[in-house]
Amino acid sequence: MKNPSIENPPVENQAPPGTLARIADVDALRAVALLLILVVNIAFFASGYPFHLVVDPAHDSWGDQAVRWLVELLFTMKAYLLFAFLFGYSFTLQIDSAARRGVDFVPRFRRRLAGLFVLGILHAVLLFQGDILTTYASLGLILLAMRRVAVGTALRVAVLLTGGIGFVLALAATGGTQLVADPATALAAAQRSTEALQGGIGSLIAEHVRQLPAMFGTLLVQGPLALSAFLFGYAAGRRRLLTDVAANRLLLRRVQQLGYPIGLAGAVIFASGGGTANLTGLTAGVLTAPLLAAAYAATLLQFFQTDQGRRAVAVLAPAGRMSLSNYLGQSLLCVLVFTGVGLGLAGAVAPPVVVLIAVAIYGVQLAASAVWMARFRYGPVEWLLRAWTEQRWPRLRAADPT
């Protein structure tokens, strides 16, 4: 459930001459992650049941079950890890950019994290209690403190974090811990949450605030995994893994050869065991989702080197360059579609249609991003966050003189 990346510097400030196309590949990869995030998150706007880890009995046909199973198999726990990886990768680009320009990186990054934290609080209360921006901002301080560690050290810490969370979950599973202790109580609470989503802005905010304590428990798992992905991204950035796909093609193929069989096997256990509602399945997901997410990234990066892939990059990259605006925009559009603030469709739309709505929203965002980035240097929220970070108003229009 959930997740985004923070504001990213414009393409021309992220890489030295000759690497713009490669950075566009990373932006395109971020844009794909946006779609995966939306497909996962939209279920939590469409119904109050997913937050309580139970299935809406009104939408439990074989088709509904199949769609939910496929989303959990392919995207849940993979999408936000891909975003977190790119957060860590972009962190190294920002360090290098600051060094080239001779500016002090640390206070700027701290301000950026503070701005991100405030955005996350507003997002969680007004739009989506499943926000992870506040978690990213908090974990970003740890990443900042580790900015001088060796690549090997970062990788070892990342593996230990993932393995440690998996071990704790496995112990809880063998001990008989149940995430849904009383299904009847959970179903009743889910119905109340769905009714709250159907209400007006006051009802929506009250529901978001009411659910925030439960989300802290979720972040006990997601937080360490996100930090692990940060560190993998940091290591990739330090080794310039994504700036020369051709030179790293053998490594990327090995990632695919390892990631797909192990990652998909774990994903089958995760999805078939009830997803995040079952500790055994969740343990399998924690231990294998990073491998499947890495295989996705390796496949996409190699595809982007083909003629069709270059055309796909041209379509996707603008959305990736303004990923924070698009992430928040997804939540706003979902609120307008599903809650009583807008159309009030919460609880009334079956999972297959919910996924189609996600694809439609994403299509709108791709088109809007292309139009916006043709005229401006940053997305609207990225521009505001950059202004706070730099303590000045940066140029917004792409045609402004340098």
CB atoms within 10 A of CB 16: 10
User: In the predicted model, is pLDDT for residue 3 greater than 90?
Assistant: no
User: What pLDDT score was predicted for residue 128?
Assistant: 93
User: In the predicted model, is pLDDT for residue 82 greater than 50?
Assistant: yes
Higher pLDDT, 245 or 256: 256
Highest mean pLDDT pick, 16-30, 225-239, 387-401 = 225-239
User: What pLDDT score was predicted for residue 223?
Assistant: 87
Cβ atoms of 12 and 93 within 8 Å: the answer is: no
- The whole-angstrom distance between residue 368's C-alpha and the CA centroid of its chain comes to 20
Cβ atoms of 131 and 123 within 8 Å: the answer is: yes
User: In the predicted model, is pLDDT for residue 104 greater than 90?
Assistant: no
**Residue range 269-280, pLDDT digits in tens:** 999 887 777 888
Tokens of 397: 């229009």
CB atoms within 10 A of CB 202: 10
User: In the predicted model, is pLDDT for residue 320 greater than 80?
Assistant: yes
User: 286: pLDDT confidence band, cut at 50, 70 and 90?
Assistant: very high
User: In the predicted model, is pLDDT for residue 393 greater than 70?
Assistant: yes
Crossing angle between the packed helical segments 249-272 and 279-303, to the nearest 10 degrees: 150
**Look-up of token digits 């990631």:** 259
User: What pLDDT score was predicted for residue 297?
Assistant: 94
DSSP letter assigned to residue 50? G
**Residue range 347-370, pLDDT digits in tens:** 999 999 999 999 999 999 999 999
Higher pLDDT, 316 or 394: 316
CB atoms within 10 A of CB 254: 12
User: What pLDDT score was predicted for residue 340?
Assistant: 93
Higher pLDDT, 179 or 374: 374
How confident is the model over 60-74, as a mean pLDDT? 94
User: 100: pLDDT confidence band, cut at 50, 70 and 90?
Assistant: confident
CA distance 199 to 203: 5
User: In the predicted model, is pLDDT for residue 5 greater than 50?
Assistant: no
User: 399: pLDDT confidence band, cut at 50, 70 and 90?
Assistant: low
Average pLDDT, the chain: 89
Shortest CA distance to 29 belongs to which of 318, 232, 316, 247? Answer: 316
User: What pLDDT score was predicted for residue 314?
Assistant: 95
Tokens of 138: 């908090």
| pTM (two decimals) | 0.89
User: What pLDDT score was predicted for residue 63?
Assistant: 94
How confident is the model over 372-392, as a mean pLDDT? 94
CB atoms within 10 A of CB 299: 16
Q: Where are the alpha helices (DSSP H) in 47-182?
A: 62-74, 79-101, 105-126, 133-145, 151-174
User: 182: pLDDT confidence band, cut at 50, 70 and 90?
Assistant: confident
What is the Cβ-side half-sphere exposure of residue 143, based on CA atoms within 13 angstroms?
32
